[in-house]
Amino acid sequence: MKSIFDKVSYEASKIVTTNYSTSFSLAVKMLSPKIQDDIHAIYGFVRFADEIVDTFHEYDKETLILEFEKDLKLAIERGISLNPILNSFQDVLKKYQIDYALVDAFMKSMKFDLNKNIYSTTEDYQEYIYGSADVVGLMCLKVFVNGDQEMYDELKGPAMKLGSAFQKVNFLRDLKADSEELNRVYFPHLEGMGLSEENKAEIIIEIQQDFNEAFEGIKKLPESAKFGVYTAYKYYSKLLKKLINSDVEDIKSNRIRVSNPMKFALLTKSYFDYKMRII
């Protein structure tokens, strides 16, 4: 029975989420149980695509990403894939009528990572972030609003800002690995000079502005999604604060982290804020 296969497919996407990101997995647990599987399916898809371009160095990554994309299109056309990650993702796309243009933009950014190493212009930087992060936020938003187009249109801007903020925090946190292991520089602010206290301050201001705009949208989310998204927001806000308090040399030589005890403390604080209607 296909229903059993679909169930197994969603469970596979959940396994991907829990194994690759404890922080995101924790936030998903704070969503309504009715939509958790759908968000796992989205994360599973984007995680696998990202893995292809970021870690499968001993393989032909270009061939793998093109095959992955081709298999997704076939899955959408057929309504099934024997790849459980693609099977659950195509089901979510159909269920919420998610525009394939969002997927297309995401895959375009993933392909950039195959050959493009330096994003020296604001336009390139913004295009990459839109495809790698903003559209993922928009896919999730479709699930959060249960396909309600009017609410989606109202919250689209803040959802993109949240995706941008998360991605920029990741770029700053992963500066060492991106530059040394992948030879990538995403911030045009660093062109020709590397990270300094001055351009770090510019980046922080940009991220804080994104967070401020995103927060206004979080407050308007349906109750089924608000607590989970707010939990993720609080985690990344804490990570940003740690980056602010870290000197440039520390960021360039270490991956700044939020400890597990702190993650659970943030969860408690987020729950208090939610119950007290602070959000």
pLDDT 10s digits, 221-259:
999 999 999 999 999 999 999 999 999 999 999 998 888
The Cα–Cα gap between 51 and 236 comes to: 21
Q: Is it the case that residue 218 has pLDDT exceeding 90?
A: yes
Mean pLDDT, residues 92-120: 95
Q: What is the pLDDT of residue 12?
A: 98
Is the sign of the CA dihedral 170, 172, 177, 181 positive or negative? positive
Identify the band that residue 68 occupies on the pLDDT scale cut at 50, 70 and 90. Answer: very high
CA 216 to chain centre: 19
Beta bridge partners of 118: 185
What percentage of the chain carries pLDDT values higher than 90?
Answer: 80
The Cα–Cα gap between 96 and 57 comes to: 35
- Of 18 and 263, the one with more pLDDT: 18
End-to-end CA distance of the chain: 43
The Cα–Cα gap between 119 and 124 comes to: 6
Q: What is the pLDDT of residue 120?
A: 85
Q: What is the pLDDT of residue 70?
A: 98
Q: What is the pLDDT of residue 44?
A: 98
Q: What is the pLDDT of residue 158?
A: 98
Q: What is the pLDDT of residue 132?
A: 97
Domains of the chain: 2-275 (1.10.600.10)
What percentage of the chain carries pLDDT values higher than 70?
Answer: 100
Identify the band that residue 191 occupies on the pLDDT scale cut at 50, 70 and 90. Answer: confident
Identify the band that residue 46 occupies on the pLDDT scale cut at 50, 70 and 90. Answer: very high
Identify the band that residue 130 occupies on the pLDDT scale cut at 50, 70 and 90. Answer: very high
Q: Is it the case that residue 150 has pLDDT exceeding 80?
A: yes
8 A C-beta contact, residue 89 and residue 14: no
Identify the band that residue 271 occupies on the pLDDT scale cut at 50, 70 and 90. Answer: confident
The Cα–Cα gap between 129 and 112 comes to: 11
